[in-house]
Structure formats: structure tokens, C-alpha cells
Amino acid sequence: MPTFISRLLDLVLRRQREERLSEEIQAHLDMLTDEHVAKGLSPADARLAARKSFGGVDQTKVRYREQRGLPLVDGLIQDARYSLRVIVRDRWFTAAIVVALALGIASSSTIVSLLYGMSFRGLPFDEADALVGVTGGPNRTQGRRVPFGVFETWQSSATGFASLSAEVDTVINLGDDENATDRFPGTYLSHTAFGGLRIRPTLGRDFRPEDDLAGAAPVAIIGYRVWTDRYGSDPAILGRLDARTASPPR
């Protein structure tokens, strides 16, 4: 432990350590130079002989750092310094790296958010773990859609569920007197859908049993985002909407 603390202090006081090391090396070189001068060499030859007998200064510093420092941390610091020099020297390369990292982080965040929403967070309904989805179909060509008549049979005979509702994805043409008609992704729902999920519309009425009948006038409940973005949260929009789509499959 004392050795580790000593190395950690050397790492923190890196500049002082380097200055002390340089002073010690220079002191050794001066001492060797004096010895060679005493033997009769000229000062220039004595300095050269001292360096030869001492060995490589840079190699000595590297060995000292390895003995006194933390090699892993020292390596990280050196890599960081090299990266900073590259960033300063080649800004276009740096910009490309930053863009690539940003795209990678954004993609990863999106994937994590989707996985979290589907696998961990669950659906935003009361007792979401009690919801069950059922699909089926007579053959592959008709997909996995259950005919509405079969659903009505299930609804009238099933006793193990608090509520049953039907849904089919579609596209809705939504317009009104002040806005041009736009296409929105939508869903056909039976009148029991929102009641089974224990939610109610913010404005207006819920679906009614007569809305499920063939030939009934179309009734639409728009989402909160469409209401705020397209209609500015205007409560007077009730009754002004014109929702048109193909007849729901039955």
C-alpha cells in the first residue's frame, strides 16, 4: 500500500517528478564529467565520455517512470496528449470523428430507448401485465386478422376476461373546415377499447355500442399530439372534424 500511494503521488505531482529526475540525471552527468576532466580529458571530451558511460538519458527516464509511476495511467495520459495534438493539427479529421460519434451515440440512445420501452417500462396502462393480445386467421394469404364475427362470438361467450376489444391498423383522412385533409396513421377500435384500458377521452364522448354496427356513421377520436399540433388544443374542434377512411374489415 505505501508503494502504491507513493506512485500515486508521483503521478499527481508529475511535473515536479520530471523536474527532479532531470536534475538528478544532470547531477550524475556533471559528476562523471568532472571525473573525466580529472583524468586529463578536455571539457568537451569529458562531457561526451560522461554521456557514453551514463547511457541514454531518454531510456533512463522511461525506466524510471515505469518503476515509479502507474504504467496503465501513464499510458492513458500519453494517449490523451497524442489525441489532443491530432485534434489541434487536423480539424477536418476531428470534425468527422465528432460527427461519427454523435451519430453513433444518437443511434445507440434510440435503440436503448426502444428496447426499454418494449421490454422494461411496459405499457402506460393500469395493470398492463394483465393485457393479452390474440391474433389468428384461416390462412396465410389473409394474414393473422380475426374476422369481426369471430370477435363478436368471443365477446359474447368469453368469461375469463374483464373486457375484450378489437383493433385493426388503418390510415385516416382527417380534415375540417379550416384545414386541408391530411393522412394520419390510425386504428379501427371496437367500442370497448378505451373502457377496457380504463381511460377516457379528454374531450367529447367515448365510442358507443352502436358505433360497431355495419353502416354506422364514422366516429373518430384523435390523439393528444394531433389535437395540440394541428388544432392548437382548440376545444371547439368537437364536431367539426371530417374523418374518412375505408369501411372497417368485418
pLDDT of residue 123: 65
Quick one: how many helices (H) and strands (E) in the chain?
9, 3
pLDDT of residue 119: 63
| Dihedral angle, C-alpha 156, 157, 161, 167, nearest 10 ° | -50
pLDDT of residue 1: 45
In terms of Cα–Cα distance, which of 13, 25, 24 is closest to 69?
13
pLDDT of residue 91: 76
Helix (H, G, I), strand (E, B) or coil at 173: strand
Domain boundaries, the chain: 2-88, 90-122, 140-244
pLDDT of residue 202: 86
How far apart (Å, rounded) are the C-alpha atoms in residues 154 and 16? 82
Count CB-CB contacts under 10 A for residue 179.
14
The cell numbers describing 231, all together, are 388544432
Q: Report whether 37 contacts 49 (CB < 8 A).
A: no
How far apart (Å, rounded) are the C-alpha atoms in residues 138 and 147? 9
Per-residue pLDDT for the chain (250 aa), expressed as one digit of tens each?
A: 455 455 555 555 566 777 777 788 888 888 888 888 888 888 888 888 877 777 777 777 767 666 655 555 566 767 777 777 777 777 787 788 888 888 888 888 888 777 766 665 666 667 777 777 777 655 555 556 778 888 888 888 877 787 888 888 888 888 777 777 788 888 888 888 888 888 888 888 888 889 888 888 888 888 888 888 888 888 888 877 776 665 566 6
What pTM did the predictor assign? 0.46
CA distances from 219 to 120, 197, 224, 238 (A): 34, 19, 16, 11
DSSP state letter for 53: H
pLDDT of residue 86: 74
